[in-house]
Structure 1
Amino acid sequence: MATLTELLAEHTTLSDEAAAHLQRLVAEWQLLADLSFADYLLAVRGDEGEFVYVAQVRPNTASTVFQHDEVGHPVEDTESAQGANPLIHPAFATGRIMQEGLATRYGNLLVTRVAIPVTFEGRVIAVLGRAVEASETRPPSPLEAAYRDAAQALCEMVVEGTFPLDEANTMGLSTPRAGDGFVRLGPAGVVEYASPNALSAVHRMGWTTDLSGVVLADLFRRLLNDPFESTDAAAMLAMAAGAADDSDVPVRGLRMEFDARRATVLVRAVPLRSRGRSQGAVLLIRDVTEVKRRDLALISKDATIREIHHRVKNNLQSVSALLRLQARRSNNPETSKALEEAVRRVGSIALVHEMLSGSVDEEVDVDAIVDRVGTSIVDVALPDGGGSRVVVTRVSRLGVLAADLAMPLVMVLTEVLQNSIEHGFATGQKGARIVIDAERDVRSLAVHITDNGQGLPDGFDLEKSDRLGLQIVRTLVSNDLGGQIRIGPSPDGTGTRVDLTIPLH
């Protein structure tokens, strides 16, 4: 299905700013649907005057009226049409909320329909079509009345272009829903209604009686542990409920997380302001005590894992230093060479653990490790080369991989690079270079290592090679990576190319 941005581009010529306003509205209108117990459809006018639905939301607090998806369908005026709302056109033309006087039949339901013009910078750019199943004759419950009163205030803000609000949410906190806990504050910050869930959340914070008639800012100031946090909470609630009386003060949504003696709550304050005057605020409260406890447990576990990786890296570096010391003390060239190769292999594993010690999700940036491995290998001059060195270049990204793939892949690349330097170039060759290229999609990663050396010896067969490094490569690719490796001449015939392909899933 097309996104809202794609549908707006297809049917309208709205400015980027107007389109962004509709995007923000759609991001926030679940609250509007829940408080209204209603379905909402967003309609825009096309270039030729036709209206089309570009977004739809269903309530969590009531059954839906529209069983089918209306996004992308034209708005019809006929009563029998799917998703019809004959009030869309006059609402757009007049810029006023239009409402049916009597419920009408839609399928097997009796529904009441409303059209709410969406205003941006003084101009109507879209219309919200609301459809709600007609209420029974019984009077609404206090919760229903409080919900609908807040929804009406928000709809008036939509018409005035002041909803959705800018949110002060620098911490990236999640959004409580109306069903988590709903509090209606009057202009003076006094609680006019609190839902049972909201009351339970405040009880968890240490309050033992009803909330009706309580100045919530004063209550939070007493309940919160941290004095600075309690001051911030009181200021937030006072601003949401009453600061909007000053027309020069910008109206902003606010959300914060508070720790009381017995609980942690997430609070979102939505100021209600219409015709330049404050109508109080809606407060959404979620008890996140258990979520917070689990988050702290995960953070502790993550810190432990990263500390383990750090200690493993330190231990591997100690082993590497001991091996290097032993290699320098050995008088046997073959023993020294074998120990130096062991130092290099241990070092490549230590690099991966070093990266994992700074990661929060057991994933590592393979490119950073490959660049460091390439740099360390380049420090070795070609035999009898008069100072000639190999230049290792990575020309594309390998990307981020999980630790169980990154570890063997780095070892394979280290062995291939070292083998190319030791056996692929002629003595004293000038301009020696190795190029690492990669191709990655959602299924696999292909890595190509190409050098401009003297090529493979006659009769070379990877499967029959007795070199330890190549045997390690073959084992790691087959057993640990589940991939395939091919070693052959480079495409231009001037060197060797290694093609490695591994599945990512």
Structure 2
Amino acid sequence: MLHASTDLLDEDIDHLHALVADWALLADLSFADLLLLVPSRTSSARAGRGGQTEFLVVAQVRPTTGPTAYHNDEVGSVVINRWVVRNAWREHRIAREGEPEWDGGVPVRTEAIPVRHGDKVIAVLARDTNLATTRTPSALESAYLQGANNLALMVAEGLFPFRGSPAELPESPRVGDGMMRLDGAGKVIFASPNALSAYRRLGYTGNVTGEDLRSVHRALNLPATTPAVWHAIGRRRPVEVELAVASTVVLLRAIPLFPGQTREVLVLVRDVSELRRREAQLLSKDATIREIHHRVKNNLQTVAALLRLQMRRTKVDEARDALGESVRRVTSIALVHETLSQTLGESVPFDEIADQITSVTVDLATTGARATTRRVGSFGMLSGALATPLALVLSELLQNAVEHAFDGSAGSIEVRVRRTASRLDVVVADDGAGLPDDFQLEHSPRLGLQIVRQLVLGEMQGTIRLQAGAGRGTEALLSIPLSSI
């Protein structure tokens, strides 16, 4: 929208993106909706000749601390020749309406803030307050509004958003979680009830208001955390620090306020004890699951070793071949569990598993065929629920190619992978003898192909077919919906 409808430069657009990433803070402190207005391309020439100014609303945010001023989404609407917006744009200073305007039966007062980037104003930020519930502000509301006014001045001076500062994380404190205001000397000049409660849970029994935050942290035996709060002023960007006492964990986000001669720190406070406890539980569960996968892998490797021992002792060729196939199948499943035991989360990088299965299958081949293999494309990350049956299917298709395609002669096998957002397509192609004329997969007596068909159609809800290759040989075409498991 910005590129198509305005004359803004790329660096100006980047500045506006950064503003929108952090402007929820200003909306919550202001108890007001924020609209980002940029002059349209068609109005620039008219404005220069004293004509009408036309602004386009390109972004909107509603406060979480108060009622919204607008029931509808204002993005995409056009504001034409509104004096408060025009004055902020032309005079490069904050402009305020005297009397509220009525929007859908709601009285709305607008304050227009010029958005400065470098030495120029590139947009206007409209701060629209719903006056339907206006009353004498409490000490908490006054503290919010004072912080909001300082941030608004910083927007007008080009000091907000903060340069080089990443956007807040989902767990970062919000205004409603708790707030403190510190003066330039580090004295707490205001603390909200939620902030007081957070420090009480940390073990501070006094009232932090009026205290030097450094002395408060020393009393909690947390002196090392205090300097980080002052780094916000020195570095002119927000700093987050975590306070932990026993099982209580409190997250602070220190935001410097420095418009004009003002030097303050706005500290947002959030008790994240329950969040950290759940994270610890998840890590413990994840470690337990990885340990289970590790033990399953070890047990499967023991089974494979016993089968190999029995295979070497068996004199009957047919029985030896059957045991060898069992070793290969057990090994394929063990590879998946081994990878899961080394991976955080429930997904595995399947390329590594596929390459190991290919190597194991060729090494355990009983026909003496000399097959070369290669993989084209990437499986990517797959869930454990999909990786296990796919590993077995891939192993069986490779074994089928090695055993039946080459008849003891040299050949090549290629595994081609194509992945989209919704499907995984795999082709196992060989240049061997090809399929019999009357071959039908659903009627094949081979145990391996029966296993493949059952896993693909049943467990993976996909499709499988075998057909003659483009030149010679056979192609096994496998298609799996990625949302199936």
* TM-score scaled by length of structure 1: 0.88
Aligned length: 473
User: Are 1:503 and 2:481 matched, yes or no?
Assistant: yes
Cα distance in 1 for residues equivalent to 2:27 and 2:281: 35
Aligned-residue offset at 1:330: 2.3
Aligned-residue offset at 1:238: 3.2
Aligned-residue offset at 1:210: 1.9
Aligned-residue offset at 1:384: 5.7
5+ residue gaps, structure 1: 1-6, 78-84, 225-229
Q: Which residue of 2 aligns with 1:319?
A: 303
SS at match of 2:258: strand
Q: Which residue of 2 aligns with 1:44?
A: 38
5+ residue gaps, structure 2: 45-53
Which of residues 447, 451, 459 in structure 2 aligns to 1:472? Answer: 451
* TM-score scaled by length of structure 2: 0.92
What are the superposed Cα offsets for residues 449-504 of structure 1, whole Å, 9 maximum, x if unpaired?
Answer: 211111012322222222121121122123221222111112x2411111112232
What are the superposed Cα offsets for residues 32-51 of structure 1, whole Å, 9 maximum, x if unpaired?
Answer: 00100100001112333242
User: Are 1:436 and 2:435 matched, yes or no?
Assistant: no
User: Are 1:89 and 2:73 matched, yes or no?
Assistant: no
Q: Which residue of 1 aligns with 2:223?
A: 231
Which of residues 302, 308, 314 in structure 1 aligns to 2:292? Answer: 308
Name the amino acid aligned to 1:500.
Answer: L
What are the superposed Cα offsets for residues 378-436 of structure 1, whole Å, 9 maximum, x if unpaired?
Answer: 44679566xxx32222212223222111111110011001110110124323xx22222
> Does the Cα contact within 8 Å between 2:33 and 2:128 map onto a contact in 1?
yes
Q: Which residue of 1 aligns with 2:172?
A: 175
C-alpha distance 427-374 of structure 1, shift in aligned 2 (>3 A) = same
What are the superposed Cα offsets for residues 325-371 of structure 1, whole Å, 9 maximum, x if unpaired?
Answer: 22223222222222211111111001100111122221122222112
> Does the Cα contact within 8 Å between 1:153 and 1:273 map onto a contact in 2?
yes
C-alpha distance 167-198 of structure 1, shift in aligned 2 (>3 A) = farther
C-alpha distance 453-114 of structure 1, shift in aligned 2 (>3 A) = same
What are the superposed Cα offsets for residues 57-107 of structure 1, whole Å, 9 maximum, x if unpaired?
Answer: 000111111111111222223xxxxxxx53222212221111112333333
Cα distance in 1 for residues equivalent to 2:245 and 2:163: 27
C-alpha distance 452-473 of structure 1, shift in aligned 2 (>3 A) = same
What are the superposed Cα offsets for residues 132-187 of structure 1, whole Å, 9 maximum, x if unpaired?
Answer: 02376743110110000000000111111111225777996722111000111112
> Does the Cα contact within 8 Å between 1:167 and 1:254 map onto a contact in 2?
no
Q: Which residue of 1 aligns with 2:117?
A: 120
Q: Which residue of 1 aligns with 2:158?
A: 161
Name the amino acid aligned to 2:405.
Answer: G
Name the amino acid aligned to 1:32.
Answer: L
> Does the Cα contact within 8 Å between 2:106 and 2:132 map onto a contact in 1?
no
Name the amino acid aligned to 2:244.
Answer: D
Cα distance in 1 for residues equivalent to 2:165 and 2:83: 38
C-alpha distance 137-374 of structure 1, shift in aligned 2 (>3 A) = closer
Q: Which residue of 2 aligns with 1:411?
A: 392
Cα distance in 1 for residues equivalent to 2:308 and 2:407: 27
C-alpha distance 372-441 of structure 1, shift in aligned 2 (>3 A) = same
Aligned-residue offset at 1:18: 2.3
Name the amino acid aligned to 1:254.
Answer: V
Cα distance in 1 for residues equivalent to 2:73 and 2:362: 60
Q: Which residue of 2 aligns with 1:27?
A: 21
Identical columns (%): 46
Aligned-residue offset at 1:123: 1.6
User: Are 1:66 and 2:70 matched, yes or no?
Assistant: yes
Cα distance in 2 for residues equivalent to 1:335 and 1:125: 80
> Does the Cα contact within 8 Å between 1:415 and 1:469 map onto a contact in 2?
yes
> Does the Cα contact within 8 Å between 1:113 and 1:132 map onto a contact in 2?
yes
Cα distance in 1 for residues equivalent to 2:379 and 2:134: 65
Aligned Cα RMSD in Å?
2.2
Which of residues 391, 394, 413 in structure 1 aligns to 2:372? Answer: 391
C-alpha distance 339-403 of structure 1, shift in aligned 2 (>3 A) = same
Cα distance in 1 for residues equivalent to 2:134 and 2:329: 79
C-alpha distance 179-171 of structure 1, shift in aligned 2 (>3 A) = closer
Cα distance in 1 for residues equivalent to 2:206 and 2:108: 39
After superposition, residues 286-365 of structure 1 pair within 5 angstroms as: 286-365=270-349
Which of residues 193, 203, 208 in structure 1 aligns to 2:205? Answer: 208
User: Are 1:258 and 2:258 matched, yes or no?
Assistant: no
Cα distance in 1 for residues equivalent to 2:214 and 2:245: 14
What are the superposed Cα offsets for residues 184-233 of structure 1, whole Å, 9 maximum, x if unpaired?
Answer: 11121111111111111111011122222011122123214xxxxx3342
Cα distance in 2 for residues equivalent to 1:256 and 1:350: 43
Q: Which residue of 2 aligns with 1:427?
A: 408
Aligned-residue offset at 1:292: 1.1
SS at match of 2:377: coil
Q: Which residue of 2 aligns with 1:139?
A: 136
User: Are 1:401 and 2:357 matched, yes or no?
Assistant: no
Q: Which residue of 2 aligns with 1:461?
A: 440
Cα distance in 1 for residues equivalent to 2:373 and 2:440: 25
> Does the Cα contact within 8 Å between 1:189 and 1:237 map onto a contact in 2?
no
User: Are 1:483 and 2:462 matched, yes or no?
Assistant: yes
Cα distance in 2 for residues equivalent to 1:400 and 1:113: 50
Greater shift, 158-167 or 334-343, is seen at: 158-167
